[in-house]
A and B are shown apart, each in its own frame.
Chain A
Amino acid sequence: DADVTQTPRNRITKTGKRIMLECSQTKGHDRMYWYRQDPGLGLRLIYYSFDVKDINKGEISDGYSVSRQAQAKFSLSLESAIPNQTALYFCATSDTGSGIEQYFGPGTRLTVT
């Protein structure tokens, strides 16, 4: 089984709908991240969490919220989806002891129509 899993893998939704993307990890890492990837813009950080009680905004947090339900679970929500949130979303994890090594999930392709 994969160490970092994301659900769903693909999602099409309509403008204004609320949607949640979920991430789970079995690596035992304490740090988790959400990124979005857009052509020509690369990977941009949305939110990151260093433990269950620590949530931080990244470069592009507007329009998103997160929840760290447990050390192994980190969810990203779009409260009211808009078309320019169409992107590839990645969850990643790392460990405080060796913070350099970041492990990515397979990604969720989200389309907002």
Chain B
Amino acid sequence: QKEVEQDPGPLSVPEGAIVSLNCTYSNSAFQYFMWYRQYSRKGPELLMYTYSSGNKEDGRFTAQVDKSSKYISLFIRDSQPSDSATYLCAVYTGNQFYFGTGTSLTVIP
């Protein structure tokens, strides 16, 4: 079983829509959960991270962790064409990072 599983999409939404991106993870001992954004032909960049469970908000982005179901979510409000990218979830064990396969998102103007 992979450490992190992610629906690859692709996902296509109209501008202004609320986007929900999701991952599941395998090990209940994981404590750090991250979301990266990767534009085409670029390296991933850290968008936000959460420790343990709960929500974290940063502008239009909200990261949520449900440890009871081992579920990681990223919500994007008022999506913009500039949000079009691949989004990768990841977990951190203290030594290594494990990444999901990424979800490709396109926001249509």
Give the interface of A toward B (CB within 8 A): 4, 33, 40-45, 48, 56, 58, 90, 92, 99-107
CB–CB B32/A100 < 8 A: yes
Q: A99-B94, A100-B92 are in contact. Are A42 and B101 (CB under 8 A)?
A: yes
A105 to B96, CA, bound (A): 17
Given A106-B42, A107-B43, also A99-B92 (CB < 8 A): yes
Which residues of chain A are near B46, meaning CB under 8 Å? 100-103
The dominant DSSP class at the A interface is strand
Most buried by A among B8, B43, B90, B92: B43
A44→B97 CA distance, assembly (Å):
9
Q: Which residues of B contact A45 (CB under 8 A)?
A: 96-98
Task: Give 8 new A-B contacts, CB below 8 A, not counting A40-B101, A102-B97.
Answer: A33-B97, A43-B88, A43-B99, A100-B34, A100-B46, A104-B43, A105-B43, A107-B41
